[in-house]
Each structure stands twice: as structure tokens, then as C-alpha cells.
Amino acid sequence: MSQSVNTVTLRKPYLLFLGEETNPLKAKTAFGLRDWVPESCIGQMHMPGGHVDLGLPELDPSSASAAGARSLLIGVTPVGGRIPSHWAQALLAAVQAGLDIVSGLHTPLESVPGLRQAAEQAGVALIDVRRPPANLPRATGKRRRGKRAAMVGTDCALGKKYTALALAKAMQTQGIDADFRATGQTGIMIAGAGIAIDAVIADFIAGAAECISPEAAPDHWDLIEGQGSIYHPAYAGVTLGLLHGSQPDALILCHDPSRTHLVSWPDFSLPSLQEARQLYLHIARLTNPDVRVAAVSLNTSALDDAAAHEALARAERELGVPAFDPMRTPLDRAVASLLG
């Protein structure tokens, strides 16, 4: 399916830049790309002292370009989310080799001394995926062709992106016309296109969501990565705008059964699954009165097999729809429920 002209678009395949990182937890973006789109990862590149290993060939920018790479993607998060000054020479070498630079960090790539001029001379792009495209429209609220499933959650950081990716892959395996639609920086890097919704001016969040999931063939499904939670005191506004602009036909409710309160917000308890279903359906019906909850996705990574099985069974009894863990269980019943 064609992407909206208003979305960020990346050139694949990638050379994954790991800097001098030694902690794999600081390279989650790079590992996510390797795990979800290995065909788009042509190699890895380190700075002296770095030894996080993705199991990919070690390439410099010239070798990667010769092997077919089109972008150098920063796959690590340095302290403060800023580009260290000593990375400048490596980034300059990449643009001189004909590679776009893709970053999800807070430092704008253009602020690296000499990088913008070098990119212009080489005819390559500097892409800050957290910078939203210009001229995003306001939402119209008008229905558009195609089918959409939105990932919504009882909290942040509990598997909405992985749920959407896993469902898209499972549907594609079954021959269903389906796409993952990215709304966050790592999702954009995996998909190669999208908009970082949390960086969009509030008035245009729903309009950006319409651009992310444009009109499509009647039997095409978009699996839309969720952001935040309607129950979150800081991020609910992003969730609401994304939901209204997505106009989902179906919701996948994502939850971590091991949590009792919002992560880093201990004064806010998690809602029950039934309460969350009711509220999400209520607000989603503004732009699609026929929306339904098709399945519940549980992040059971903190549970052993027996506890995970019981949590899934309990969620299924509570909501009356299939329950699954996208990293642990089959998705066939969830896909069948989604298709209706």
C-alpha cells in the first residue's frame, strides 16, 4: 500500500550505528530492527570501545554503501538522548559515502557541525524521525475505505508496538493484505515510514493519524501502533488524538497483568480490563460508531508458564474475546476474531 505524502519515509536497507555502546539495553532500537526487519539490516558499525554485538557484519560506511545500504541508522541512545560531538566524523563519513542519516535522538542532525552542508553536497537526507512533517492537516473525521485495528493499552510501554508488528506478520503469513503503521520512532525505523505522534502539535495529532493510515482497498488492514494510555495523567492526550484519527474498526486491548499501577506513576492504579474496554469503546465511537474490541494482548514476560496461562485464561473469561501474548502464544484466534 502506498504511504501518505505526509509521512516520514526512510531508505532501506540500514547500516546500524552502535557508537561505543557497551550496554545492550541502550541499543534497544538496533535490536528491535534486527529482530523485526532483519532483511533491512545490512551490517553494524562501532566506534572504538563499543562491543554491543547484533551478529551482523561489521562494516564502515563505504563498505556498507557498496553492499547496498542506503541509510546509516543510529540504533543506540546515549546519555540524554544527545549526539556526542565525537560522532561527527563517523556521521560525515556516512553522508560522504552516500548514506542518509536516520536518528531518533533529541539532538537535531543539522546541529552536528558540517553535517548539513556535507549532506547537501552528497545529495542525501538527514532524517530526525521525532521531527514531524511540515504542513500536517487537521483531522476531517470523515470515514475512509479500508480496515483498521488500533492497539490501545492500560498503560505505557507494555507491548503495543510488538502486538501490532506480530499481528501484521501473522496476517501477512495467512495471505491477508495487512500493514504495520508506525506512530513512534522505533516503529518508524522498523516500518520505514510513519509519524512520531508524540512530537506533533496537539491540534494536528488526529490529522497526523489520518495520514498514517490513509484510504486503502476495502479488504486491506492497517495495524496501528498505539501510544500512551487514556488512563495516563501525562500522555492521555496523545492516545485520544491518535484513536480519533485512526477511526479503528477494531481495538486490541494491551495489558501487563503483573502491574498494579502505572509505571513511574505509583499514585495511579491500573484499570480493570472491563473498565478499559468500556472507556476505549466510548471514545473511539466518536469517529467509528461500529468499533469493537477484537482481542486482548497480554505482556506475560514477568510470569512463568503456569501464571501466564492463568492470566490469559482469566482475561479471556473477563472480556469474552481471544487473549494472547504476541511473543509467547499463537495468534490464529486473535486474527480470526479481528477479521470477524
Question: Region 229-233: what's the mean pLDDT?
Answer: 97
pLDDT surpassing 90 at residue 229: yes
Question: Region 216-226: what's the mean pLDDT?
Answer: 97
Rounded to whole angstroms, the Cα distance separating 262 from 253 reads: 16
Confidence of residue 9 (pLDDT cuts 50, 70, 90): confident
DSSP state of 285: T
The pTM (predicted TM-score) of the whole model is 0.89
Neighbours of 22 (CB within 10 A): 12
Rounded to whole angstroms, the Cα distance separating 173 from 156 reads: 28
Locate the DSSP E strands across the chain. Answer: 8-9, 14-19, 41-46, 71-74, 100-103, 126-128, 147-153, 178-181, 193-194, 221-224, 250-255, 261-262, 265-269, 292-298, 323-324
Instruction: Dump pLDDT digits (tens) for 275-312.
Output: 999 999 999 999 999 999 999 999 999 999 999 999 99
Q: What pLDDT, on a 0 to 100 scale, did the predictor assign at position 6?
A: 62
Among the listed residues 162, 176, 165, the one whose alpha carbon sits nearest the alpha carbon of residue 219: 176
Quote the percentage of the chain above a pLDDT of 70. Answer: 98
Using only the alpha carbons of the chain, give its radius of gyration: 20
pLDDT surpassing 70 at residue 5: no
Instruction: Dump pLDDT digits (tens) for 75-94.
Output: 998 877 889 999 999 999 99
Which domains are present in the chain?
A: 8-128 (3.40.50.720), 147-339 (3.40.50.300)
Q: What pLDDT, on a 0 to 100 scale, did the predictor assign at position 8?
A: 82
pLDDT surpassing 60 at residue 120: yes
Q: What pLDDT, on a 0 to 100 scale, did the predictor assign at position 295?
A: 98
Task: Look at the chain and count its residues.
Answer: 340
Q: What pLDDT, on a 0 to 100 scale, did the predictor assign at position 2?
A: 38
Instruction: Dump pLDDT digits (tens) for 247-280.
Output: 999 999 999 999 999 999 999 999 999 999 999 9
Q: What pLDDT, on a 0 to 100 scale, did the predictor assign at position 4?
A: 46
Q: What pLDDT, on a 0 to 100 scale, did the predictor assign at position 80?
A: 78
DSSP state of 155: S
pLDDT surpassing 60 at residue 108: yes
Neighbours of 38 (CB within 10 A): 12
Instruction: Dump pLDDT digits (tens) for 310-340.
Output: 999 999 999 999 999 999 999 999 999 999 9
Confidence of residue 49 (pLDDT cuts 50, 70, 90): very high
Confidence of residue 1 (pLDDT cuts 50, 70, 90): very low
Q: Is the dihedral of CA 133, 136, 139, 143 positive or negative?
A: negative
Rounded to whole angstroms, the Cα distance separating 51 from 23 reads: 8
